[in-house]
């Protein structure tokens, strides 16, 4: 066991878009594999054809690519030695294992109809018991443990529908060792005889999952906490199939919780609380309903991945910002917490802001230029780079740049009404006039020079500089807030600033008279 090459898998079912909890599972698998120099696989678990959703598989692949956490083998990423990686395509290989379990007496055929199962459920519930198909209830049902051998044979030969169920022992402790939770002990009386295989030749999740993990030589199963209740069953399957010595180690990851900590973060929370719970936008193929995604909201994939990594794991120090390579070298399952991780939408924005600031002005310019071109903006690249330097301090997202800094490229169309209401009066208007005239005469139009001239003009007109600072900003940008005022003035340049002051005087004077 010790000498096996580490191999882990992400095994989603294509039943809808991948939730961010699923992306985190994929990420932890990826980080663990890379750290150990092992392999990360993608397997599509599509045995439940009733829950199949068109487009879901392509979505999963695209989401992993966007995040930059690409498997080395798997659907959409190239075949390795264990192809195919879609369970529906592996269908022929499961029957033999169901038969092996039948032969060893660890599984049995059951022929109960839907109505018979329903009747049993009612009967058990009326008696105050659980309705599970288990060591007790199986004795009064139609299966190969209760029916005479020749009747079983005859039913099978006549092609009657059946399922194969695992025969859970009546009185046994099943122990699962979890790398995050330690020993988890479940009594077999709490377990039920789960269906493993159906007469249409399709395995259920449980059988397919175990067979695939075994045949794909998976060494560690890292998955969400919602699968912990299935783990004892999986342990028994490994035992009954004779694979205990190569059974993977389990690690069940903590749940992602709603921002208030009350319950699991659900698909519905996102749009209700105003943040995405999906990596990419998703359009439901049936209802056409659109759920928002981090990519479309303007998140950088590295910021998104960094944020996700810290939902349930922490580093040895207090560091919060990690590149993917740093995450790989820092990651360990020992520092994954048992307790659920509260999702914090504000912190998520903070991560993007940090990554925005980490990008160089040149990089951001490159990313922004397509939007500027689409708006028909004509500006020199050097000018855009300088505008970006000022704008990026104020935003969390690239897609806010235009609303934060369009005034670098066009004159304002309106002026912040609050500021105007509060600050525009005869004396401030007089000041703006004076300032415009002073600026016209200023030869060296730098931040430093314009600022001292601004102060001197305020003094000269007998108005407090603090009284007119924001008004001046509104006159040239339209906005009440923004980057360092005089740097903005320097970048806009003398002609533009003077022109804008003149325009403001005309427009605002007209409004007030
Ligand atoms: N197909 C399961 C899912 O959708 C995989 C569980 C596991 O990793 O074993 O999450």
Q: Is the CB of 395 within 6 Å of ligand 1?
A: no
Residue 127 in this model has a pLDDT that exceeds 70: yes
Are 101 and 172 found together in one domain? yes
User: Which residue puts its alpha carbon closest to atom 2 of ligand 1?
Assistant: 12
Question: Where do the DSSP E strands lie in 319-414?
Answer: 341-342
Are 479 and 395 members of one domain?
no
For the ranges 1-15, 66-80, 195-209, the lowest mean pLDDT is seen at 1-15
Are 439 and 402 contained in the same domain? Answer: no
Q: Is residue 39 part of a domain?
A: yes
Residue 128, pLDDT > 90, answer no
- When divided into structural domains, the chain yields a total of 5
* 13 pocket-lining for ligand 1 (C-beta < 6 Å): yes
Domain assignment of residue 83, yes or no: no
Pair (336, 484) in one structural domain: no
Instruction: Report which ligand 1 atom has the smallest distance to the Cα of 209.
Output: 9
Q: Which of 21, 24, 81, 25 is nearest to 220 (CA)?
A: 25
Q: Which atom of ligand 1 is nearest to the CA of 45?
A: 1
Lowest mean pLDDT among 176-185, 258-267, 268-277: 268-277
pLDDT (0 to 100) of residue 124: 87
CATH of the domain at 296: 1.10.1160.10
CB of 223 shorter than 6 A to ligand 1 = yes
Give the pLDDT band (50/70/90) at residue 510: low
CA nearest neighbour of 40 among 85, 89, 87, 92? 85
State whether 168 and 112 are in the same domain. Answer: yes
102 and 48 within one domain: no
Q: Which residues on adjacent β-strands are paired with residue 20?
A: none
**Residue 191: which pLDDT band, with cuts at 50, 70 and 90?**
very high
Alpha carbon of 371 to ligand 1 centroid (Å):
40
User: Which pLDDT belongs to residue 129?
Assistant: 78
Same domain, 299 and 330: yes
Note down the domain range covering 443.
417-512
Structural contact between residues 35 and 75, judged by C-beta atoms closer than 8 angstroms: no
- Per residue in 398-430, pLDDT tens? 999 999 999 999 999 999 999 999 999 999 999
Catalytic site positions: 267
Atom index in ligand 1 nearest the CA of residue 213 equals 9
In this structure, are 455 and 499 located in the same domain? yes
Asked if residue 407 lies in contact with residue 476, where contact means CB atoms within 8 angstroms, the answer is yes
Residue 224 Cα to ligand 1 midpoint, Å, equals 8
pTM to 2 decimal places:
0.93
Q: Which atom of ligand 1 is nearest to the CA of 22?
A: 10
What's the mean pLDDT when you consider all of the chain?
A: 95
pLDDT (average), residues 431-436: 97
pLDDT at 55: 96
Whether 184 has a pLDDT exceeding 90, the answer reads yes
- Structural domain includes residue 81: no
CATH number at residue 165: 3.90.800.10
Cβ–ligand 1 distance for 210 under 6 Å, the answer no
Q: Please write the tens of the pLDDT for every residue from 164-173.
A: 999 999 999 9
Q: Is 47 in the pocket of ligand 1 (CB under 6 A)?
A: no
* Residue 271 pLDDT greater than 80, yes or no: no
DSSP H/E element including 340: none
In a domain? residue 1: no
Q: Is the CB of 209 within 6 Å of ligand 1?
A: yes
CA–centroid distance, 230 to ligand 1, in Å, is: 10
Examine the domain organization and report whether 340 and 325 are in the same domain: yes
């Amino acid at each position: 066991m010790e000498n096996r090459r580490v191999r882990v898998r992400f095994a989603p079912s294509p039943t809808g878009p991948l939730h961010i909890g699923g992306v985190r599972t994929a990420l932890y698998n990826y980080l663990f594999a890379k750290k150990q120099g092992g392999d990360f696989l993608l397997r599509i678990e599509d045995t439940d054809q009733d829950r199949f959703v068109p487009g879901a598989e392509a979505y999963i692949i695209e989401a992993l690519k966007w995040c930059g956490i690409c498997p080395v083998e798997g659907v959409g990423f190239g075949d390795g030695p264990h192809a195919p990686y879609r369970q529906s395509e592996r269908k022929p290989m499961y029957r033999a294992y169901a038969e092996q379990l039948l032969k060893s007496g660890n599984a049995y055929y059951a022929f109960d109809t839907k109505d018979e199962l329903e009747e049993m459920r009612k009967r058990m519930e009326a008696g105050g018991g659980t309705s599970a198909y288990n060591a007790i209830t199986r004795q009064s049902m139609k299966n190969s443990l209760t029916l005479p051998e020749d009747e079983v044979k005859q039913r099978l030969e006549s092609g009657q529908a059946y399922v194969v169920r695992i025969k859970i022992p009546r009185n046994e402790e099943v122990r699962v060792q979890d790398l995050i939770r330690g020993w988890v002990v479940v009594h077999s009386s709490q377990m039920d005889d789960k269906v493993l295989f159906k007469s249409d030749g399709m395995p259920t999740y449980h059988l397919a999952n175990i067979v695939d993990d075994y045949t794909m030589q998976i060494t560690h199963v890292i998955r969400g906490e919602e699968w912990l209740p299935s783990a004892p069953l999986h342990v028994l399957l490994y035992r009954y199939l004779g694979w205990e010595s190569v059974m993977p180690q389990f690690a069940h990851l903590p749940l992602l919780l709603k921002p208030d900590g009350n319950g699991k973060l659900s698909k519905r929370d996102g749009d209700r609380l105003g943040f995405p719970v999906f990596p990419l936008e998703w359009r439901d193929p049936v209802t056409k309903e659109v759920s928002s995604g981090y990519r479309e909201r303007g998140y950088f994939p590295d910021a998104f991945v960094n944020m996700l990594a810290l939902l349930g794991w922490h580093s040895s120090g207090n560091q919060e910002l990690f590149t993917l390579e740093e995450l790989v070298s820092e990651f360990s399952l020992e520092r994954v917490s048992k307790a659920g991780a509260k999702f914090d939408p504000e912190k998520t924005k903070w991560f993007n802001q940090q990554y925005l600031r980490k990008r160089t002005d040149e990089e951001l310019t490159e990313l922004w230029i397509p939007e500027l071109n689409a708006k028909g903006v004509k500006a020199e690249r050097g000018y855009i780079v300088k505008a970006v330097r000022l704008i990026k301090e104020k935003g969390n997202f690239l897609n806010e740049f235009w609303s934060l800094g369009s005034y670098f490229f066009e004159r304002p169309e309106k002026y912040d009404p609050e500021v105007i209401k509060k600050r525009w009066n005869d004396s401030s208007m007089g000041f703006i006039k004076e300032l415009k005239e002073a600026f016209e005469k200023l030869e060296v139009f730098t931040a430093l020079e314009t600022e001292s001239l601004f102060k001197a003009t305020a003094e000269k007109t007998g108005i407090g500089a603090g009284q007119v600072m924001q008004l001046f900003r509104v006159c040239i940008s339209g906005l009440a807030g923004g980057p360092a005022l005089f740097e903005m003035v320097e970048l806009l340049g003398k002609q533009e600033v003077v022109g804008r002051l003149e325009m403001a005087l005309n427009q605002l004077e007209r409004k007030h008279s």
